Amino acid sequence: MNRPAPEDPRAARTRARLREALLAECAERPLEEVGVAALVRRAGVGRATFYVHYDGLEALAVDACADVVRDAVEALHAWRGRPDPMHAPPTLAEFFASLTPHAALYRSLLAPGGGGPLGRVLHRDLRAYSLRERELAGAADAPLVASAVAATFAGVLADWMHGLLDASAADISDQVWQLLVTLHASR
């Protein structure tokens, strides 16, 4: 069995400092206005160190926002037993509400319709999780439904973040939940 090598603690700390610095910078200005020089100064690392860990600011931003993807996947799968088809699990509404502090950054990485670098990561991770679950359940339509679930959630999330859907966090979570339950039940 091959296990990934444990991560160097120094590298992990450096990446964490860079992620924190980026989030702090983006709290003050849009990602497009953040410069590497200001970012590394705030993180207390050298410019070369930044490029050892990331190809550019977008790669760092996606890494800094990766928790959003994990939180989304967990929120969608936080129920046990038979799901209520009308009301999302509370964790899904909490997830939507939690996006507010860094909404501008998420919007810059998540294009309407679910595209963009963060949208691609969200789609990939959500599809993989959904596919595993469907295959474990023995569903013959596992790849199709997994793709539909990932695309639907990423698209609705992105459109809501960009103001194309007018709904509160609680309302959008129920609405997207109803779509996803329908997708799972349609086959």
| Rounded Cα gap, residues 167 and 86, in angstroms | 16
CB hemisphere CA count around 40 (13 angstroms): 15
Q: Is 168 helix (H, G, I), strand (E, B) or coil?
A: coil
CA-CA-CA-CA torsion for 65, 70, 71, 74, nearest 10 degrees? 170
| Rounded Cα gap, residues 121 and 104, in angstroms | 18
DSSP H helix total and E strand total for the chain: 10, 0
Neighbours of 46 (CB within 10 A): 11
Query: pLDDT tens, position by position, for the chain (187 residues)?
Result: 444 456 788 888 999 999 999 999 988 888 999 999 999 999 999 999 999 999 999 999 999 888 888 888 887 776 666 777 888 888 889 999 999 888 999 999 999 999 999 999 999 999 999 899 889 888 888 999 999 999 999 999 999 999 999 999 999 999 999 998 888 775 5
| Rounded Cα gap, residues 187 and 109, in angstroms | 33
